[in-house]
């Protein structure tokens, strides 16, 4: 893969990409603030119960199951209008909450409807912007562009809730959503300023009117491709056992079993956020220096082995905290290097007509197993104890992806392959 070496090939001179990047950054910060502010409003303004809070968390995330359907849509229509109108719609929906609050009409039912709709629109935006990116950026700049996009996503997820918490000291939670809503409107304007004309995708006669066949074209391509399949398997296993299982019992283990003060828990998690930012900054340099297969393999190896520090944590509280922060930091760095490299590889070799469906398939495999893992981890921890359960889920969730990568053709890949034929 060619590396940009001159001012002419740098994405800093690509105005269309910069507008997309600005729009994505504003949307990401908006989403981070929304996911912080909505639960705060539910608890402090509407006095929601535990069950009602659980329903809010469910409604925020359940639209992710529609990634596959939205992938079909993204391959059949122009993507720029999707980005613009999903942001405009989120602006309008979020404004409904402070308006209802000011009018003394805000209820939990109102919150339920708004957050479910926002979740749908956010899932559609995520699918469209990832598949729109290869249209705006030449292949030799995929790595640089993905690094920039991932940097702002990691920064938003790390500092967005903190920014929202700081603003909450001077304004009310419903009023905070006004700032959030404006960020979506600004994102829509940024994307609307993209100047490159986008033609409507050519219709696919083989799947016309058959959504299930269109979905399977993307998923089947992912599962059949010798380079993409191990990435998909690794993603699904990691999601089930680490993102779902381990994370669902992590707070219980740290605070109750290790005796770490609850006030320190956020600082431990912040280690992962800082690591993610560092990883996004390092991704381009690492991939340009080493073979792509080695980057993918060893980022998984180092990151997953670091997870074993979590069930190993023991001794004085400061020792346990140090081990936990190290695990978060290392896995944060390596996961971002892996994600940027993985995304660049997938975008490079995926035919344009399948970009939306392939993105959606990989997102689905990486996100849908997590709720099942969370449920299973709770049952396992109840039967075996939290530390033993962590040993089981970390061992499987860390070692299986490492084996899938090590025994695949990816491990020997020296450079970015050529794009697949149409």
DSSP string for residues in 361-416: HHHHHHHTHHHHHHHHHHHHHHHH-HHHHHHHHHHHHHHHHHHHHHTSGGGG--SP
Residue 205 maps to a domain: no
Q: Give dist(CA 156, CA 81) in Å, integer.
A: 24
Other beta carbons within 10 angstroms of residue 240's beta carbon come to: 25
User: What b/e string do you get for 164-197 counting C-beta neighbours within 10 Å, with b at 16 or more?
Assistant: beebbeeebbbbbbebbbebbbbbbbbbeebeee
Verify that 218 and 320 share a domain, yes or no: yes
Residue-number span of the structural domain to which 48 is assigned? 8-199
What's residue 35's pLDDT? 74
Verify that 278 and 194 share a domain, yes or no: no
Q: Which of 149, 167, 199 is the last residue of a domain?
A: 199
Q: Give dist(CA 298, CA 289) in Å, integer.
A: 14
Residue 3 maps to a domain: no
Q: Give dist(CA 379, CA 374) in Å, integer.
A: 9
Verify that 229 and 359 share a domain, yes or no: yes
Verify that 128 and 154 share a domain, yes or no: yes
**Phi and psi based region of residue 209 (left: phi greater than 0; alpha: psi -120 to 50; beta: remaining):** left
What's residue 161's pLDDT? 72
Q: What angle do CA 45, 249, 335 make, to 5 degrees?
A: 95
Q: Give dist(CA 363, CA 82) in Å, integer.
A: 18
Verify that 155 and 263 share a domain, yes or no: no
What's residue 7's pLDDT? 40
Report the domain count for the chain.
2
User: What b/e string do you get for 359-370 counting C-beta neighbours within 10 Å, with b at 16 or more?
Assistant: bbbbbbbbbbbb
Q: Which of 199, 234, 258 is the last residue of a domain?
A: 199
Q: Give dist(CA 214, CA 180) in Å, integer.
A: 35
Evaluate whether 242 touches 398 at the Cβ level (below 8 Å): yes
Residue 206 maps to a domain: no
Q: Which two tokens stand for residue 218?
A: 């993307």
Evaluate whether 343 touches 228 at the Cβ level (below 8 Å): no
Q: Which two tokens stand for residue 160?
A: 């967005």
Q: Which stretch of DSSP H or E encloses residue 302?
A: helix 292-306
Residue 175 is given by DSSP the state: H
What's residue 249's pLDDT? 84
What's residue 193's pLDDT? 94
Verify that 266 and 189 share a domain, yes or no: no
Q: Give dist(CA 38, CA 177) in Å, integer.
A: 9
Q: What angle do CA 400, 403, 404 make, to 5 degrees?
A: 85
Residue 72 belongs to domain with CATH number: 1.20.1250.20
Verify that 182 and 259 share a domain, yes or no: no
Q: 3-state class of 78 per DSSP?
A: coil
What's residue 415's pLDDT? 84
Q: 3-state class of 187 per DSSP?
A: helix
Q: Give dist(CA 173, CA 64) in Å, integer.
A: 26
What's residue 338's pLDDT? 94
Residue 419 maps to a domain: no
For residue 76, give the nearest of 186, 241, 203 by alpha carbon: 203
Residue 207 maps to a domain: no
Verify that 326 and 187 share a domain, yes or no: no
Q: Which of 144, 166, 199 is the last residue of a domain?
A: 199
What's residue 271's pLDDT? 85
The DSSP code sequence of 12-53 is GG-HHHHHHHHHHHHHHHHHHHHHHHHHHHHHHTS---HHHH
Per-residue pLDDT tens listing for the chain (422 residues): 444 333 446 788 889 999 989 888 887 887 777 777 888 888 788 888 767 876 777 787 678 778 888 888 888 889 999 999 999 999 999 999 999 998 999 999 999 999 899 989 988 988 888 888 888 898 888 888 989 988 888 888 788 777 777 777 778 878 888 888 998 899 999 999 998 888 777 766 555 557 778 888 888 888 899 999 999 889 889 888 887 778 778 888 888 889 988 768 767 877 888 999 999 899 989 988 999 999 999 999 999 999 999 999 998 999 999 999 999 999 999 999 999 999 999 988 888 888 888 888 887 887 777 777 877 888 888 888 889 999 999 999 999 999 999 999 988 898 888 766 65
**End-to-end alpha carbon distance in the chain:** 20
Evaluate whether 390 touches 260 at the Cβ level (below 8 Å): no
Residue 224 maps to a domain: yes
Evaluate whether 87 touches 188 at the Cβ level (below 8 Å): yes
Q: State the virtual CA torsion across 403, 420, 67, 239 in degrees, nearest 10.
A: 10
Verify that 244 and 376 share a domain, yes or no: yes
Other beta carbons within 10 angstroms of residue 26's beta carbon come to: 23
65-96 per-position pLDDT tens digit: 788 888 888 888 899 999 999 999 999 999 99
What's residue 1's pLDDT? 41
Verify that 156 and 264 share a domain, yes or no: no
């Amino acid at each position: 893969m060619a590396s940009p070496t001159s001012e002419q090939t740098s994405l800093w001179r690509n105005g269309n990409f910069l507008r997309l990047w600005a729009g994505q950054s504003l949307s990401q910060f908006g989403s981070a603030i929304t996911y912080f502010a909505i639960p705060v409003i539910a608890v402090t303004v509407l006095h929601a119960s535990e069950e009602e809070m659980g329903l809010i968390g469910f409604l925020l995330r359940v639209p992710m199951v529609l990634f596959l359907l939205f992938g079909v849509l993204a391959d059949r229509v122009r993507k720029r209008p999707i980005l613009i109108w999903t942001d405009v719609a989120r602006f309008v929906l979020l404004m409904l909450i402070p308006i209802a609050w000011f009018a003394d009409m805000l209820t939990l039912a109102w919150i339920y409807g708004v957050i479910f709709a926002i979740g749908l629109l956010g899932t559609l935006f995520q699918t469209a912007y990832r598949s729109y990116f290869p249209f705006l950026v030449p292949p030799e700049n995929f790595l640089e562009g993905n690094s920039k996009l991932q940097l702002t996503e990691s920064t938003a997820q790390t500092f967005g809730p903190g920014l929202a918490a700081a603003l909450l000291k001077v304004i009310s939670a419903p009023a905070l959503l006004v700032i959030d809503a404006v960020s979506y409107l600004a994102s829509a304007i940024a994307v609307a300023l993209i100047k490159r004309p986008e033609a409507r995708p050519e219709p696919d006669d083989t799947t016309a009117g058959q959504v299930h066949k269109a979905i399977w074209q993307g998923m089947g391509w992912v599962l059949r491709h010798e380079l993409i399949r191990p990435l998909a398997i690794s993603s699904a296993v990691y999601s089930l056992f680490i993102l779902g299982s381990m994370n669902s019992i992590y707070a219980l283990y740290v605070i109750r079993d290790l005796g770490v003060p609850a006030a320190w828990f956020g600082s431990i998690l912040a280690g992962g956020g800082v690591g993610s930012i560092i990883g996004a900054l390092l991704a381009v340099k690492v991939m340009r220096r080493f073979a792509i297969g080695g980057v993918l393999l060893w980022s998984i190896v180092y990151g997953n082995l670091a997870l074993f520090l979590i069930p190993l944590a023991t001794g004085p509280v400061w020792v346990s905290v140090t081990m936990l922060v190290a695990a978060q930091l290392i896995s944060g760095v390596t996961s971002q290097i892996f994600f940027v490299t993985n995304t660049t590889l997938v975008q490079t070799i995926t035919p344009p007509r399948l970009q939306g469906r392939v993105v959606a398939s990989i997102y689905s495999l990486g996100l849908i197993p997590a709720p099942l893992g969370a449920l299973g981890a709770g049952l396992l921890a109840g039967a075996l104890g939290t530390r033993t359960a962590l040993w089981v889920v970390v061992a499987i969730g860390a070692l299986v992806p490492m084996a899938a990568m090590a025994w695949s053709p990816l491990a020997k890949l020296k450079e970015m392959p050529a794009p697949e034929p149409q």
